Each structure stands twice: as structure tokens, then as C-alpha cells.
Amino acid sequence: MSKQKVVMTALFGLLGSFSAFADMGIDEKINIAIKPYADAVANTVFYSFPVGGVAIPFVLVWLIVAASIFTVYFRFINLRAMKHGLQLVRGDYNDPEAAGEVTHFQALATALSGTVGLGNIAGVAVAVSLGGPGATFWMILAGFLGMSSKFTECTLGVKYRLEHEDGTVSGGPMYYLARGLAERNPLLGKLGKVLAVMFAIFAVGGSFGGGNMFQANQSFAQLVNMTGGDTGWLADKGWAYGLVIAVLVGLVIIGGIQGIARVTSKIVPFMAITYVTAGLIIIGTNYQHIPAAFGAIIAGAFTAKGISGGVIGVLFQGFKRAAFSNEAGVGSAAIAHSAVKTKRPVTEGFVALYEPFIDTIVVCTITALVIIITNTWDPSVDPSAGVQLTSKAFESEISWFPWVLTLAVLLFAFSTMISWSYYGLKAWTFLFGENRFTDTAYKILFLFFVVVGASMQLGSVIDFSDAMIFAMAFPNLLGCYFLLPVVKKEMNEYWADLKAGRLVKTRVG
């Protein structure tokens, strides 16, 4: 072949590629442009190594090992402090003169709104399908251990928060990494500043993607599925749905954490109670299958017949879905809990114990039991079809439940977005300063990405943002290891005052 023919062939090939690119939709073009970078970040954060024939992401090991160490270090605080944590949530020891913006209950509801959602509804169905009923056992164990991580990071969030003159506060891993490590010694202080900036960057990226676009995208997909599918009247109107949600989110986040807390403290309990009640009704009406279900869960956790990867594969599915659902160790919840009204940081650590407990041990377990009892789990399930599988399980007993589930998905997605807007805002202002301009700029960007997420299929963007969220765990937990003695000191002093009767109970009952 002559040089001219080679050049002409290459030129026509290039023109053909350009023409194909020009014919693509804007979301496809964005995917192609971002994919190399998104894949690089995701492959780094979710770097995996083989164990028993199963590729285990290092970040998952990082989260579970830390949770286990914290549980032992604090002598099973996830059991010892449950009763007192409930007393604090009820308001038994509220201090009206304490700095902060929200009550213990509101802080818990806001943090829960950032975790209770698609992970509980869709993720559990995928875990049980791919890992069998035994995955539920490891999911519960991971949730139990994760309670200690939440206790640690939320205590530190309040301990090192900034209290502003106008009564607002700023807290979270950015602050306890920078201020807490500097308090330990100057050398750690330099490390803390680097870790704090890393965490803040990851948190901002995660807030735009996993805490925003993914929620808008998946909630719209569920709504489309219930209104005629791809041929329905709503199928091509993602932009309109995004605009409506953006306006609603905007109306809430303008009010700051107090406005967010007021909304989430109503949405989360209502939807959680509705969802859990429906699950308990199904479990109750099939009570004769409960012993067999628990038998399958326990046996499957240690035998794993026919499951890819054997016992390791089952353990991986359970731990993975629990960690991805409750985000214990990621540090996001510490930002919301830092806004609580209290003079004793460890009190919010006790309250935070209930977050993985409700999210994973209660809600995820009920979802798993419904799927197991109705025998609707499917080993060949597509991981993106988790919501439909859960819907099918509930629908088998309650014919109209898919509409309730759709409402739950919409409200949980909405509450997750407004919670993550606060997480991202605090990380953003940590990087660029606290003032009206930076505050407004972030909120406009956040609302813009609501519309983008609802109207486009941005697979690579979502992969990138999910990686950003779990990248937060690396700087967060590294800092927590150095600050464990601080948490233990706060805990021991508080327990001593509680046992000696030096704490005033403000609520009778």
C-alpha cells in the first residue's frame, strides 16, 4: 500500500470517528471525555487484591479493620452506650444554653437522611442475590462494628468544631484533622493540614456526584419505571424533573442546617417507619418461614454453597453493602453531628451509635428478610436492578407497595441531597473561606448538578463521585487513629460524671 493510501485511510478513519462523536448525545460525549480520568480515580480508590478467589477492595478492608479496632479499644461501646444514647436522643439531657444549632434528634435525623436510602433498598437486594442469605449475617456484623466508627468520628467532630459569633458552627473531619492533630504535636499538625485538605476536596466531589447527581438520576429512573417506562410520557423529561427537585432542594438549603434538620427530622422518621412497618407486616404474615430464613442466613454465612468465592464471597458482599450503606468511617456524618447543641462532645458520639444500628441492623436486615422469605432473590441480578428486585419482593405480598417504594425512593433521595449539600458546603467553605459569596456559589453549583444528574446518564461521573466519597475514609480514619486517646479521655470523664450524678436530667420519663 502506498503512502498516499495509508494517509487517506487514516484520514477517513479519523473523519469517521469525528462524525460518530458528533452524532452522540451530550451525555455520551461527557462520558467519553471523563471516562479515562474517572476510571483512573476509581481504580485507585477501589484498588483490589485477591482473597480466596474474590477481588477485595482495599478501602473496604480499611473501613472494617478500623471499625474492629475502635470496637475493641472502646470496650464495645456499641453495646455499653445504647441505653444512654437513646436517653440523649429523647432529650433527657438537653442543655438549652449549649452552643450549636440543632438537637441530638435533629442531628441524628440529618445524618440518617444522608445514609438511609438506595443502599438499604437496592444494595441489600444485590447483596442477598449475589452472596446468598448468608450475606445478611456479615452485613449485620459490619453494621455493628461500624457503630464504633461513628462514635469515634462524631465525638471528634463536636470536640474540634468552630463556634462562630452568629451562633452557627462548622465541624467535621476537616477540623479535627487540622486542629486535633496540631493539638497532639506540631509534626502531626502539618500532616493534619494535608489530610484535612484532602478530605475536603473528596467531600466536595462526592457531594456533587454520589450525594446529588446519583440520587437525582436514580429517583427519576424509578419514577419513569412506574409511569410507563422508556415509552412513558415522563421518559424524556429528566430536565423538568431535575428543575422541580432543584427548586425544592434550594428552598430547604437556603435555611442552612436548621432548615435541613427541620425537614429531615420529619421525612426520615416518616419514611423509615412506613418502610419498616411494611416489611414487618410481610415478615409477620409469613411468620412460619422466619426460623428457616434465619437458619439460611446463619448457615449461608459459613457454608456458601454455589456462591462465587465461597465464604469469602459471601462475607465480601455483606461487608460491602453495609459499608456502602451506612458510610461508617467515611466521616460525612460527623459534619452533621457537629452542629448539635451540647457542651460534651462524647454525647453526640453516643447518639451517633444509632445511625448504623437503624440504617444497617434494622432497615437493611428487614429488607433482607423480606427478600429471603418471599424467595425473590436472584443470583443473576444486574447490580443496577436492585430497586426493582426489592419492589418485586414487597409486591409479592402487598400489590400496591411499588408506589410506596417509589415515594420512599423519591423522599430518601431528596433527603440525601439536602444532607449532602450541607456536607459539601462545609468542605467547600473550609477550602475557600466562610462568607456569603462562597456559600452562594456552592449552592448554585449544587442545584445545577441536580438538573444535570436527572437529565443525563453519566456513568463515568457517578463512578468518579462514588470513588471520591470512599476516598474520604483514608484521611479520616488515619486521623482518627491518632486521636483515639482524646476520645477515650472524653468518654471516661463523661461516664464518671454520669455515674456520680453530676449530670442534670432535663426531661422526666
Report pLDDT for 211. Answer: 81
Helix ranges restricted to H, 229-289: 238-253, 256-285
What mean pLDDT do residues 421-427 have?
A: 90
Report pLDDT for 204. Answer: 92
Give me 419's grid cell: 444532607
Name the DSSP letter for residue 288.
G
Report pLDDT for 427. Answer: 92
Report pLDDT for 501. Answer: 82
Query: Which amino acid, one-letter code, is at 370?
Result: V
Cell 454525647, residue located: 347
| Cβ-Cβ contacts under 8 Å for 72 (sequence gap 6 or more) | none
Give me 299's grid cell: 448457615
Cell 466519597, residue located: 469
Report pLDDT for 231. Answer: 65
Report pLDDT for 159. Answer: 92
Per DSSP, the three-state class of 254 is coil
What residues pair up with 48 in beta bridges, in sequence order? 57
Better-predicted residue by pLDDT, 144 or 399: 144
Distance from C-alpha of 421 to C-alpha of 449, rounded to nearest angstrom: 11
Report pLDDT for 18. Answer: 46
Concatenated DSSP letters of 203-228: HHHHHHIIIIIHHHHHHHHHHHHHTT
Over the range 246-264, which residues count as b (16 or more CB within 10 Å of their CB) and which as e? beebbebbeeebeebbbbb
- Structural domain contains residue 31: yes
What mean pLDDT do residues 38-44 have?
A: 79
| Cβ-Cβ contacts under 8 Å for 398 (sequence gap 6 or more) | 278, 281, 282, 404
Q: How far is CA 72 from CA 76, 224, 381, in A?
A: 6, 47, 37
Report pLDDT for 14. Answer: 46
What mean pLDDT do residues 134-159 have?
A: 91
- Structural domain contains residue 17: no
Report pLDDT for 387. Answer: 72
- Structural domain contains residue 7: no
Domains of the chain: total: 1
- Structural domain contains residue 68: yes
Better-predicted residue by pLDDT, 439 or 34: 439
Better-predicted residue by pLDDT, 485 or 416: 485
- Structural domain contains residue 36: yes
Give me 438's grid cell: 462562597
Contact 477, 69 (CB under 8 A): no
Concatenated DSSP letters of 442-467: HHHHHHHHHHHHHH---HHHHHHHHH
CATH number of the domain enclosing 347:
1.20.1740.10
Contact 328, 146 (CB under 8 A): yes
Domain hosting residue 175, numbered range: 26-499
Better-predicted residue by pLDDT, 3 or 132: 132
Name the DSSP letter for residue 358.
I
Question: Is the pLDDT at 388 greater than 80, yes or no?
Answer: no
Question: Nearest Cα to 419, choosing from 243, 215, 219?
Answer: 215
- Confidence at 136, pLDDT banded by 50, 70, 90: confident
Contact 362, 194 (CB under 8 A): no
Q: Is the dihedral of CA 79, 81, 87, 91 positive or negative?
A: negative
User: Which H/E stretch holds residue 163?
Assistant: strand 162-163
CB atoms within 10 A of CB 105: 18
Question: Is the pLDDT at 8 greater than 60, yes or no?
Answer: no
Distance from C-alpha of 255 to C-alpha of 232, rounded to nearest angstrom: 36
Better-predicted residue by pLDDT, 344 or 23: 344
- Tens-place pLDDT, residues 220-272: 877 887 777 666 676 777 788 888 888 888 888 777 666 676 777 777 778 77
- Describe the chain by its helix, strand, coil percentages, rounded to 5: 75, 5, 20
Contact 58, 469 (CB under 8 A): no
Report pLDDT for 428. Answer: 93
- Tens-place pLDDT, residues 306-356: 566 667 777 777 787 777 777 888 898 898 888 888 888 999 999 999 988
What mean pLDDT do residues 461-467 have?
A: 73
CA angle, residues 25, 417, 238, in degrees to nearest 5: 30
Better-predicted residue by pLDDT, 418 or 194: 194
Give me 382's grid cell: 444486574
**Burial of 277 from C-beta contacts in 10 A (0-12 / 13-18 / 19+):** exposed
Question: Is the pLDDT at 474 greater than 80, yes or no?
Answer: yes
Cell 436510602, residue located: 117
Report percent pLDDT > 90 for the chain. 19
| Helices 310-326 and 58-73, packing angle to 10 deg | 80
Cell 427530622, residue located: 265
Cell 458546603, residue located: 425
- Confidence at 509, pLDDT banded by 50, 70, 90: very low
pTM for the model stands at: 0.85
- Structural domain contains residue 72: yes
Report pLDDT for 21. Answer: 45
- Structural domain contains residue 5: no
Query: Which amino acid, one-letter code, is at 11?
Result: L
What mean pLDDT do residues 82-90 have?
A: 88
Q: How many residues does the chain have?
A: 509
User: Which H/E stretch holds residue 126?
Assistant: helix 124-131
- Structural domain contains residue 241: yes
